Amino acid sequence: MYEGVIIEKLFTKDLRFPTSLNSDGSDAMHTHPDYSCAYVILETNTGQKAHGMTFTLGRGTEVVICAIKALENLIIGQKVQDIYNNFGDFWRKLTSDNQLRWIGPEKGVMHLATAAIVNALWDLWARLEGKPVWKLLVDMSPEQLTSVIDFRYITDVITKDEAIKILKEKEDNKKAREFDLIKNGYPAYTTQVGWLGYSSEKVKSLCKKYLDQGFTAFKVKVGQNLDEDKKRCAMVRENIGSSNVLMVDANQVWCVDEAIDWMKSLAEYKPLWIEEPTSPDDILGHAKIAQALKQYGIGVATGEMCCNRVMFKQFLQAGALEFCQIDSARVGGINEILSIYLMAEKLKVKVCPHAGGVGLCEMVQHLQFWDYVSLSGTKEGKYIEYVDQQHEHFKTPVVIKSAAYMPPTDPGYSSEMFPSTMEKYEFPKGTYWQELANNK
Ligand SMILES: C[C@H](O)[C@@H](O)CC(=O)C(=O)O
Ligand SMILES: [Mg+2]
């Protein structure tokens, strides 16, 4: 299959959207984010194109582009058959270049670059198979699926054989769950109501807007000022009512003990979780916070900036998170994310993906759909994050009905953006940025 198909070209685009102008996407740590992405287009000798990306916040996207270019020679000239016949081995080659790994390994800018390329490779595979990525994953046998994963460094928690066993145990009702997914979709929560820079009036009216659309779970940003947080949480709680779900997200601003104290003060608003209370690398710190907040019914959520499967492994082993927030544009793309899902399933931790960023909703839905149909087999107590930003730039944007993600049918990873978007928002030569520079 795919005989003679070779990856011939790799293009990159530095795409930036001026979201900081309206505080869209703002939080206590990232007060002025310009939602951006390092975007990759692969082209084969047959003319097939595929699209992938990793999410960035504006400045620094050019550094990720540089790292993607450093990996380019590992991709160009590859026969796609060789990649997909042994994707786990290929993924290891991509992350183990004996010189490049020194500036990682498997973390930081190099791993963001890996994610962008690997996401494009999955888009390509799904297009060649004529399926959306979620269906490509669902249709794989446990043996095929585990063959894409590099189990190095995680066999103390899960081996390939164990993973195959877990997947086999879930095979019986897969068809029924796939029907359910197509009919009812997958529950979403929204963060759109609560970006930190939004005024109280705006938060209030957005609560109403998303309640009217059927949302029952809402996330707000906290962490800059305790009195303001109390007012905001009280107001949101009053607007969404006591039976709906509230989550709060501090985006890493606190020290460990500060996080515990701050959250004790917000406990009366009954948040389901506190997200990223402290440094994303502090596993034992998160464990301490989780332990201290258990009595208040507040769980710890983290993962959107967790750099690789080894860190996730330790978070899971240490009981440092109750909600595991994989991110489709981090770690080394789908191959590595699948290993995190498998560890979370084995250690009975809920996966609630992060999606606050460009294209993250579009991509991550595929993974959570696969998890439901093939792995965890349940949606109970789980949500995919939804933010209502930049969807208009995608050829196949997410479809949300009654606060549920509906599975896409188009082949690929839903990651393709319009050429007109690139003409306008490529930095710095796109028309939007040129006009801005000229008006200055
Ligand atoms: C800077 C991003 O918008 C970040 O605040 C997103 C995030 O933390 C989330 O969606 O969760
Ligand atoms: Mg977050």
The two three-digit tokens of residue 189, written as one number:
């929560």
Share of the chain above pLDDT 90, in %: 99
Q: Is the pLDDT of residue 6 over 90?
A: yes
User: Each residue of 48-68: pLDDT tens digit?
Assistant: 999 999 999 999 999 999 999
User: pLDDT, tens digit, for every residue of 85-94?
Assistant: 999 999 999 9
User: What is the arithmetic mean of pLDDT over 5-30?
Assistant: 98
Q: Which atom of ligand 1 is nearest to the CA of 355?
A: 10
Ligand 1: residue of 191, 305, 326, 361 to mutate (most ligand atoms within 8 A of CB) is 191
Q: What is the model's pLDDT at position 343? A: 98
Lining residues, ligand 1, CB within 6 Å: 25, 27, 30, 33, 57, 191, 249, 251, 304, 354, 356, 385
30 CA closest ligand 1 atom index: 1
Which of the following is catalytic: 354, 366, 379, 393? 354
Atom of ligand 1 nearest to the CA of 275: 11
Cβ atoms < 10 Å from Cβ of 200: 12
pLDDT at position 1 is: 74
Position 2 scores a pLDDT of 87
Q: Among 31, 224, 304, 364, which residue has the most ligand 1 atoms within 8 Å of its CB, making it the best to mutate?
A: 304
For strand 299-302 and strand 7-16, is the pairing parallel, antiparallel, or unpaired? unpaired
Under 8 Å between Cβ of 245 and 267: no
Query: For the chain, what percentages of helix, strand and coil (3-state, to nearest 5) are there?
Result: 45, 20, 35
Among candidate residues 107, 221, 288, 379, the one labeled active-site is: 221
- 231-286 residue pLDDT tens: 999 999 999 999 999 999 999 999 999 999 999 999 999 999 999 999 999 999 99
Residue-wise pLDDT tens digits, 120-166: 999 999 999 999 999 999 999 999 999 999 999 999 999 999 999 99
Distance from the Cα of residue 267 to its chain's centroid: 27
> What ligand has the least distance to the C-alpha of 390?
1
pTM score of the predicted model: 0.98
What pLDDT, on a 0 to 100 scale, did the predictor assign at position 440?
Answer: 72
CA of 8 from ligand 2 middle (Å) equals 37
Q: Is the confidence at residue 425, as pLDDT, over 80?
A: yes
Residues around ion ligand 2, judged by CB within 5 A, are 249, 275
Helix (H/G/I), strand (E/B), else coil: 14: strand
Nearest residue (CA) to ligand 1, atom 11? 356
Residue linked to tokens 């309206």: 22
pLDDT at 112: 98
In the residue annotation, 221 being an active-site residue is answered as: yes
User: Residues 300-344: pLDDT tens digits?
Assistant: 999 999 999 999 999 999 999 999 999 999 999 999 999 999 999
